[in-house]
Amino acid sequence: MMKNILTTLTVATFSIAGVTGLHAQRDNMEGGNKMGAEDKMEAADSSKENIVEIASGMNNFTTLVAAVKAADLAETLSGDGPFTVFAPTNDAFDELPEGTVEELLKPENKEKLQKILKFHVVPGKVMAADVKTMSAGTAAGEDAAVVVEDGVVTYAGQKVIKTDIVASNGVIHWIDGVAMPEM
């Protein structure tokens, strides 16, 4: 349950974040990082749903969604936007030190969790084709480095692995790690 709450929160947070130039990375990805036909179908069919609804319907974001809910950010991320969210997958959360997710989901750590999730959200709708090396202002009030190098895009040091999941209120780009703001 805690993992589901974190997943919800993270997805919502990433929905707010915005970045440009990710199409090149998607097109150049190899193996398991390529967007499969099923994922493309989800992306194409999801534009009527908001960021939180889309993330809630995907098995890869249960921890993020749980986190978004625990941080009371689901309503915000379901709003008009537009938001660009750099969404860490469940595997990304699993890479954090043991007990980190559970600790962040505690009510007394709500502000810290909110800051982490908001760091994954960039105001505006930034599609992969628009991504370039830049400093992106986040909903957390800190900038995140977006780097495009040799066809690979990173957001705050985390590799972008899937792009352009279009929602009614923005876009979601998957990342392979949890980006951490200064605490």
pLDDT tens per residue across span 130-150? 999 999 999 999 999 999 999
18 or 164, greater pLDDT: 164
Closest CA to 170 of 82, 87, 75, 44: 82
Give the CATH H-level superfamily of domain 2-175: FAS1 domain (2.30.180.10)
pTM recorded for the entire structure: 0.76
What tens digit of pLDDT does each residue of 31-65 get? Answer: 333 333 344 334 444 578 999 999 999 999 999 99
Residue carrying structure tokens 């469940």 = 90
18 or 135, greater pLDDT: 135
Closest CA to 3 of 68, 75, 73: 68
What tens digit of pLDDT does each residue of 110-133 get? Answer: 999 999 999 999 999 999 999 999
pLDDT band at 23 (very low <50, low <70, confident <90, very high): very low
Strands 170-175 and 83-88: parallel
Which residues lie across from 122 on neighbouring strands?
Answer: 84
pLDDT at residue 182, rounded to an integer: 86
Q: Where are the domains of the chain?
A: 2-175
Q: Is 118 helix (H, G, I), strand (E, B) or coil?
A: helix
| Cα angle 5, 123, 92; round to 5 | 40
CB atoms within 10 A of CB 61: 32
Six token digits for residue 183: 């605490």
DSSP strands (E only) in the chain: 83-88, 121-123, 134-137, 143-149, 152-155, 158-167, 170-175
**To the nearest whole number, what is the mean pLDDT of the chain?**
80
